[in-house]
Amino acid sequence: ACPFGAIEQMSFVDDVIAALKDPKKFVVAHPSPAVRVALAEEFGGKPGDLCTDQMLNALEKAGFTVYDVNQTADQTILEEGTEFIKKVRYWCLGERSPEVNMMAHHPLPHFTSCCPGWVRNMEINFASAIPHVSTTKSPIQMGGALGKTWAAKHVWNKDPRDVCIVSITPCTAKIFEASRPEFIDAWKWNVEHNVIPKDSPVFPDIDYSLTTRDIAEVFRRLGIDPLKMPTTHEVKPTEKYTGAGTIFGCSGGVMEAALRTAYALLAGEELKNPDIISVRGLNNSLVEATVPIPLKAQGGKIFELRVAVVNGALQDLKNVMKIINEDKDRWHFIEVMNCPGGCVNGGGQPLQGAGSSWLAPTTPLPVKL
């Protein structure tokens, strides 16, 4: 947003507090991985202080039921890893079968799709990449759809029309993503095309999007200090996740998680050491790596998977696109995150240092309990 206040960040703080007070609404908090490493800063903690259990307890105290984005990040990786492997089977291993033939329309290199800043940038400036981008929804949007279908029916026993899903995210672009017509009209499209009954409700995947700064403001207005909440938390079915979902918040995390799945699917066994350090690197805006995978279907023959990870620097992204135009085989898989270092440095995270008072909390510390 504009440092002179000409453009302000959209805020749904008032709407979410009103929803929490509405007895008819079942309000679900959907917190992203990067929120729990930054929220403490808003309440006097140090940058990087992890407060997962205190955040979950604070959300419950505020009246939310929690559906953790870490869990839907796991689901995203299952989808995206499977999609990527089908591309490898079609384009690299020459397989032709009903299971992989549709990948003829989805060429390599494969791009990640979970960063709405990158997706919008790509649509406007690099439209030729559209067929290459994963068809998988971002973890937040996947959670919105699953929350109003699977979880509403099987976990919460609620009518989806009463479920209000609030994403809590380090990202201002997620506010835009939630408003995209594809994520609001999908239900309507399904009704119009007779996929589901005509009396099915029409509603968005995500009802409101709050940034990390916004949820801190919600807590302050409700008199809740997360850092004063208990440091242990009883894990509910919609709060379980693996380490793969956790690392989504950092540049290289989506790639590392996808490579673990890709390795397991192609090699027929899990990686002995799941840490793929070569794709990490907060200090570099472009990282390249080669990951050798023994192919189970070809008796252990080594397939060298070439990947790239880009974060933050537009110039590096332009270079990557230029290289691909000249050499489409340079990489099989490319992760792009718009913010430097990934979502941990997203536009909705706490602001550091003096001079940012135009976006300072509207309810001052200390909170009254």
213 within 8 A of 236, measured Cβ to Cβ:
no
Look-up of token digits 């981008």: 133
Residues that bind ligand SF4 (CB under 6 A): 115-117, 170-171, 173-174, 337-339, 342-343, 346
Measured CA angle at 46 (ends 41, 51), to 5 deg: 65
Q: CB of residue 247 vs ligand SF4: minimum separation in angstroms? A: 13
* Closer of 160 and 342 to ligand SF4 (Cβ): 342
Name the residue nearer to ligand SF4 (CB basis): 143 or 342. 342
CA–centroid distance for 132 within its chain: 19
- HSE, side-chain direction, 13 A CA sphere, residue 265: 19
Instruction: Please report how close the Cβ of residue 28 comes to ligand SF4 at its closest, in angstroms.
Output: 20
d(CA 15, CA 177) in angstroms, rounded, equals 18
Residue 212: count other Cβ atoms within 10 Å of its Cβ: 27
- CA-to-CA separations, 139 to 48, 205, 206, in angstroms, rounded: 22, 12, 11
Burial of 84 (0-12, 13-18, 19+ CB in 10 A): buried
Of the pair 160, 312, the CB lying nearest ligand SF4 is at: 312
Please report how close the Cβ of residue 336 comes to ligand SF4 at its closest, in angstroms: 8
Closest residue to bound ligand SF4 by CB? 346
Active site residues: 80, 83, 114, 134, 174, 177, 182, 343
Nearest distance from residue 128's CB to ligand SF4, in Å? 21
Nearest approach in angstroms of CB 171 to ligand SF4 is 3
Length of the chain: 369
Question: Which of 132, 174 has the CB closer to ligand SF4?
Answer: 174
Closest to ligand SF4 by CB, 285 vs 338, is 338
Sheet holding 333-337, edge to edge: 110-111, 333-337, 301-311, 286-295
